[in-house]
A = this chain, B = another copy of it.
Amino acid sequence: MSNIDTLSVNSLRVLAADAVQKANSGHPGLPLGAAAMAYELWANHMNHNPKDPKWSNRDRFVLSGGHGSALLYSLLHLFGYGNLSTKDLASFRQLDSLTPGHPEYGHTVGVEATTGPLGAGMAMAVGMAMAEAHLAAKFNKEGYPVVDHYTFALGGDGCMMEGISYESMSLAGTLGLGKLIVLYDSNKISIEGNTDIAFREDVAKRFEAFGFQTLVVEDGNNLEEISAAIKAAKADTTRPALITVKTKIGFGSPREGMASAHGEPLGADNVKALKEKLGFPVDKDFYVPEEVYQHIEEINKKSEKAEAEWNQMFAQYVKAYPELKELWDKYHDENIGEDLLENQEFWAFPDKPEATRNLSGMVINRIKDLVPGFVGGSADLSPSTKTYMKDEGDFSKEDYSGRNLHFGVRELAMTGIGNGLALHGGLKPFVSTFFVFSDYVKPMARLSAIMGLPTTFVLTHDSIGVGEDGPTHEPIEQLAMLRSMPNFTVFRPADATETIAGWYYAITSKKTPTALVLTRQNLPQYAGSSKEALKGGYVIAPSKKEVPDAIIIASGSEVEISVKAKEELKKEGIDVRVVSMPSTDLFDMQSKEYKEKVLPKNVRARVAVEAAADFGWGKYVGLDGATVTMKSFGASAPAGELFKKFGFTTENVVATVKSVL
């Protein structure tokens, strides 16, 4: 271990400790303990070019233990990513700084994923490794490994305890993702104390059970040992690798080995003691010896050269395989699919009653031909969610070119992996499960929304329409759960046109994930449905008068009884407008004028009809309106009986409208 290496590692430590201390907030424990492995990886094993952070063939690095952000920022600073300065480090965790409390994708150059919720980075890394494997299978030719990189994830005991890391790593092992390497910062300390209180698991053995190569670094400060392990991990490309690196939390500080080193500043005295111990000047903050900067500059020269070589190869590849270059551009075209708006074949549908899940399946099989980077799958439910892409093969250990992904019964990992697929670049992923299981999807869907990833969620079996499977399988409050999330669009179509509109929105979305919420049961087609659905809410059945006596607002399967109720009320001389509202999110974004046109403020007799919790409808029906909604969990019976039992009948809608007149 050379002096300059030691100095570099300790520079990372001191920068991180200073950042946390200056902010008087943050987590010094991981940065001090894991600085050596991070340095060794970034300096000597990762194929990346800080000058070009978006180089498509760079190795990916995900700090799954996102609370160790001070380490990541220190690395980004030393390696020169985005010119992140010591001033930026000194603004750690301050308003509008480039160095927020947890790493934020799209905010700080060089951050590959937003992390913080433990284990999430593990799933995202699996997604990135799957993307790499898929794109390599699609594009690489002999002598032209244009897609050929590793994905590294670094996480600690917390990441290992979270279910998502088991789920995703079990799948990674199954798929033999040989270019996925997990660095396990094993320090035996959790917030409540020694990990023995809750986590005595033999982690390496577990990963062996998953089909991983497992390696151990006994001394987490020994760069040679770390280096040897990473080399061995890289050499085995048939299995993903777990490297257990034994570390000491808060290394070098007086709080070394203590739970208190995890999540609070060390204190000025302890930072001083740390600097003294590491031989750094105690009176200087954010100090890095000049020779460290020079050392990293030398390393970066090699990195630049690596990318230059790749660029050269790619240029030859383009000449040798012009048709693949064309395809490559399609994969990387952010605006792909936009012309579908005027594509009549895309908007065509058979005019008969149909379940929106089936219609979605039809659209998926259209999109696959038009958007080659479109990949996805389900958490072991594709025969039910109708998400299988015909003739596109299955992504498996034996063949990574398949576009149908099999996630197993792992909704949470699926969603995290979906994020990783999207983060990697080149792919447009969708994931799928029953709508009720969006409960499991939620934590990672939130990360999709925070990161602004346009992943599509195909969520079928959308209400008590599920029928016999009963309350555990019948979504009630899930619409409210997803609609209430910022930067997340929920779309619950009523028929074929609206289903196609939902998919059009989803596939062309740039920065917002979309959930398509679809029925198990057949729904009719409406004469009044149109591309106006893209506005979220629109008049699907107009009143005779310009100002109606009442407005019924409905979504999805409940548009049917709403339109029928309108007809019934007409017989009684009550003139009703029916508004189809597939997406409250999109409707809320329309102009004031448009919203007033659809829902005139002076019409107070309003009824919302939706086979879900009424939560959120008050905004549209106000204090004088009413709702026909679910007041409880569902029940187990044939769907038709349930709709009756819970009041989703034309008669009840009619009566409710009358009650607010």
Which residues of the partner chain B approach A484 to less than 8 Å between Cβ atoms?
476-477, 480-481, 484, 613, 615-616
Instruction: Check A446 for interface membership: any CB of B closer than 8 A.
Output: yes
Interface residues of A in 14-61 (CB under 8 A from B): 23, 25-26
A446 CB contacts on chain B under 8 angstroms: 439
Q: With A and B bound together, what is the CA distance between A177 and B173 in angstroms?
A: 28
Asked if A199 is at the interface (CB within 8 A of a chain B CB), the reply is yes
Copies of the chain in the assembly: 2
- Proximity bits, A548-590, B CB within 8 Å = 1, else 0: 0000000000000000000000000000000000000000000
Tell me whether B198 and A380 are in contact (CB under 8 A): yes
Q: Which of B26, B95, B443, B616 contacts A645 (CB 8 A)?
A: B95
Across the interface, A635 reaches (CB within 8 A) one of B100, B382, B638, B641, namely B100
Q: Is A6 an interface residue (CB 8 A)?
A: no
Q: Contacts A93-B637, A205-B205, A645-B95 given: A470-B381 contact, CB under 8 Å?
A: no
Residue from A119, A170, A645 with most neighbouring chain B CB atoms (10 Å): A170
Given A191-B384, A409-B190; A93-B615 close (CB under 8 Å): no
**How far does the Cβ of A447 sit from chain B's closest Cβ, in whole Å?**
7
A637: B residues at CB distance < 8 A = 93-96
Q: Which of B96, B443, B487, B623 contacts A439 (CB 8 A)?
A: B443
Complex interface residues of chain A between 594 and 646 (CB less than 8 A to chain B)? 601, 604, 613-620, 622-624, 630-633, 635-638, 641-642, 645
Q: Which residue of B lies closest to A206 (CB)?
A: B209
CB of B163 within 8 A of CB of A164, answer: yes
Find out whether the CB atom of B618 lies under 8 angstroms from the CB atom of A622.
yes
CB distance from A98 to the nearest CB of B (A): 11
Chain A, residues 360-399, CB within 8 Å of chain B (1/0): the string is 0000000000000000001011111000000000101100
A282 located at the interface, meaning its Cβ lies under 8 Å from any Cβ of chain B in the complex: no
Q: How many residues of A contact B (CB 8 A)?
A: 116
Does A471 make an interface contact (CB < 8 A)? Answer: yes
Q: Do B205 and A161 touch across chains, with their CB atoms under 8 A apart?
A: no
- Kindly state the separation between the CA atoms of A440 and B118 in the bound complex, as whole angstroms: 11
| Complex CA distance for A72 and B623, rounded to whole angstroms | 47
Q: Does A652 contact B (CB under 8 A)?
A: no
Q: Mark A149-177, 1 if CB is under 8 A from B, else 0.
A: 00000000110011110110011011000
B101 A636 Cβ-Cβ under 8 A: yes
Neighbouring B residues of A173 by C-beta, 8 Å: 200-201
Report the bound CA distance from A202 to B208 in whole Å: 8
B174 close to A198 (CB less than 8 A): yes
Complex CA–CA separation, A470 to B196 (angstroms)? 30
Q: How far is the CA of A119 from the CA of B203 in the complex (A)?
A: 21
Q: Is B481 in contact with A406, judged by CB distance below 8 angstroms?
A: no
Kindly state the separation between the CA atoms of A335 and B175 in the bound complex, as whole angstroms. 53
**Separation of A119 and B486 alpha carbons in the complex (Å):** 30
Residue on B nearest A615 in the bound complex, by CB: B484
- 16 CB < 8 A contacts A-B: A23-B468, A93-B636, A93-B638, A96-B637, A102-B470, A116-B469, A171-B198, A192-B380, A198-B407, A201-B210, A437-B443, A439-B442, A484-B484, A484-B615, A485-B613, A486-B631
